[in-house]
């Protein structure tokens, strides 16, 4: 058991094959910019390692039959860990974002950090044992954190609702616990990577606005996430206003989007108005319920939130000159009313920026699973190493030892 070193052209080649399976070597040469000899050598190496599959077609006329290259179904995988405020999900995911199996560690923002590492680690180890039955290699354990974090340092940063987890090296600690390669990325950053790796459209430069438990915004320039130095995705939600408002934000200002228009704010207001049971934590279904509610106050809540986020996003797009703004998060994924309200804001004259929605871009696919796969792709492009899953008994022994120590 160990690591498989990947040739430098591998990340670009894998990206081409995640978008279009069954490419000829000449097409991969165009997609990667590599020479024909390099593509021939790399595809042979990766197919021998079990990461790619080579199919031979029927010859037409003279010449040898054409060979096409695809990602092997049992080649690469990732284990995605989605850490939200009220729930954690660990899933075994194919390299193309399809979920094979899931576990739900009992972890939320109130869970002590050390205890959370143990619970998440045990779930990851169980999924790794399953991965060894079905896949040749693991790209990494992809930790998608719904808060501020640093991929480069592998740690949780501020601001974040997980206050007891601040400055904890979660990727390093989970790697030590599981003996598996781990990486962590903020959800906003991961979505930019997802759009650039898995979208069938090339959006080029765009702004993405997310309305979830909190609100974030991120630019993508030349296919890479971009934020000015020192700015975080959550900065988009703050107004820096000091006037008296309904509720004081943790930033010290009033009427910030996070406290007026986030899904958590919608839940609180809907509870006060008697539209839902107070304290509900199934946020996705909560938004869907409000979207189909007969009471006009429910529609007003969703309209107001969608329009407020859209106005702030439109200001960003106008200032930078973006022509595409993409909306995502639970509000826009689960509410037709919020999507309609956002589109109306963008109908205003004086700009040429159009709206797109993640739920439409990735129709029928689970976006959380895709973000984990995208982080795996990103990590492979940085490390160029895949973790070989060739000794299942080692995982069983590790899992047994961890279970004994917990007992």
CATH number of the domain bearing residue 290: 3.30.420.40
Domain contains 180 = yes
- pLDDT greater than 90 at residue 227: no
pLDDT of residue 364: 83
Winning range, highest mean pLDDT, from 40-49, 144-153, 290-299: 290-299
18, 44, 71: which is the final residue of a domain? 71
Domain contains 234 = yes
Q: What is the DSSP letter of 248?
A: B
pLDDT of residue 374: 92
Asked whether residue 185 falls in the same domain as residue 249, the answer is: no
Say which range, 53-67, 163-177, 183-197, has the weakest mean pLDDT: 53-67
49, 71, 93: which is the final residue of a domain? 71
Asked whether residue 286 falls in the same domain as residue 382, the answer is: no
Sorting pLDDT into bands at 50, 70 and 90, what band is 351? confident
- pLDDT greater than 80 at residue 72: yes
Mean pLDDT of 143-161: 87
Determine the number of helices (DSSP H) and then strands (DSSP E) in the chain: 15, 17
pLDDT of residue 158: 78
> What is the residue-averaged pLDDT of the chain?
86
Say which range, 43-47, 52-56, 63-67, 387-391, has the weakest mean pLDDT: 63-67
Helix 296-320 / helix 283-291 crossing angle, nearest 10 deg: 110
- pLDDT greater than 90 at residue 296: yes
Expressed as residue numbers, the domain containing 19 is 3-71
* Rounded Cα gap, residues 395 and 401, in angstroms: 10
What H or E segment, with its residue span, contains residue 344? helix 336-346
Model pLDDT for residues 250-272, shown as the tens digit of each residue: 666 667 888 889 998 899 999 99
pLDDT of residue 201: 76
Q: What share of the chain is helix, strand, coil (3-state, %, to 5)?
A: 45, 20, 35
- pLDDT greater than 80 at residue 179: yes
- Pairing between strand 137-145 and 76-83? parallel
Report the SS3 class of residue 370: helix
- pLDDT greater than 60 at residue 279: yes
Domain count for the chain: 3
Region of 58 on the Ramachandran plot (φ > 0 left; ψ -120 to 50 alpha; else beta): beta
Structural contact between residues 12 and 196, judged by C-beta atoms closer than 8 angstroms: no
- CATH number of the domain encompassing residue 52: 1.10.10.10
Question: What is the pTM assigned to this prediction?
Answer: 0.84
pLDDT of residue 392: 47
Asked whether residue 90 falls in the same domain as residue 122, the answer is: yes
Domain contains 196 = no
Domain contains 144 = yes
Q: Which residues contact 171 (CB under 8 A, 6 or more apart)?
A: 143, 154, 155, 182, 183, 184
Asked whether residue 356 falls in the same domain as residue 375, the answer is: no
Find the largest Cα–Cα distance for the chain. 80
Sorting pLDDT into bands at 50, 70 and 90, what band is 391? low
Asked whether residue 116 falls in the same domain as residue 67, the answer is: no
Asked whether residue 354 falls in the same domain as residue 211, the answer is: yes
E strand residue ranges, 135-292: 137-145, 149-150, 155-156, 182-186, 206-211, 215-221, 224-226
Asked whether residue 288 falls in the same domain as residue 323, the answer is: yes
Asked whether residue 57 falls in the same domain as residue 101, the answer is: no
pLDDT of residue 288: 95
Region of 338 on the Ramachandran plot (φ > 0 left; ψ -120 to 50 alpha; else beta): alpha
């Amino acid at each position: 058991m160990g690591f498989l070193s990947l040739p430098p052209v591998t990340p670009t080649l894998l990206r081409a094959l995640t978008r279009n399976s069954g490419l000829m070597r000449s097409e991969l040469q165009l997609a990667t910019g590599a020479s024909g000899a390099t593509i021939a050598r790399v595809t042979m190496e990766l197919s021998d390692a079990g990461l790619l599959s080579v199919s031979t077609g029927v010859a037409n006329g003279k010449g040898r039959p054409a060979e096409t290259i695809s990602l092997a179904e049992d080649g690469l995988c990732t284990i995605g860990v989605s850490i939200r405020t009220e729930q954690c999900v660990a899933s075994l995911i194919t390299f193309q974002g399809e979920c094979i199996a899931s576990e739900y560690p009992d972890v939320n923002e109130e869970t002590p950090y050390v205890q959370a590492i143990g619970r998440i680690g045990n779930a990851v180890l169980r999924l790794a044992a399953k991965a060894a039955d079905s896949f040749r290699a693991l790209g990494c354990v992809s930790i998608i954190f719904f808060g501020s974090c640093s991929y480069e340092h592998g740690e949780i940063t501020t601001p974040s609702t997980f206050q007891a987890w601040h400055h904890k090296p979660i990727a390093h600690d989970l790697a030590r616990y599981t003996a598996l390669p781990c990486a962590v990325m903020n959800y906003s950053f991961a979505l930019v990577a997802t759009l650039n790796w898995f979208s069938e459209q090339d959006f080029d430069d765009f702004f993405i606005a997310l309305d979830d438990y909190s609100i974030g915004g991120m630019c993508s320039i030349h296919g890479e996430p971009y934020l000015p130095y020192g700015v975080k995705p959550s900065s988009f939600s703050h107004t820096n206003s000091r006037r008296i408002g309904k509720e004081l934000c943790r930033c010290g200002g009033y009427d910030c989007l996070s406290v007026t228009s986030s899904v958590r704010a919608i839940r609180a207001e809907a509870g006060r108005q008697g539209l839902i049971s107070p304290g509900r934590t199934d946020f996705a279904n909560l938004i869907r319920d409000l979207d189909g509610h007969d009471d006009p106050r429910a529609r007003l809540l969703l309209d107001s939130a969608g329009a407020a986020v859209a106005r702030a996003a439109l200001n960003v797009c106008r200032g930078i000159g973006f022509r595409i703004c993409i909306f995502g998060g639970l509000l826009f994924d689960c509410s037709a009313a919020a999507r309609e309200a956002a589109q109306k804001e963008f109908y205003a004259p004086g700009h040429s920026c159009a709206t797109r929605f993640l739920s439409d871009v990735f129709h029928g696919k689970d976006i959380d699973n895709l973000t984990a796969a995208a982080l795996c792709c990103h990590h492979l492009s940085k490390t160029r190493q895949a973790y070989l899953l060739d000794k299942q008994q080692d995982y069983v022994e590790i899992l047994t030892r961890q279970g004994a120590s917990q007992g």
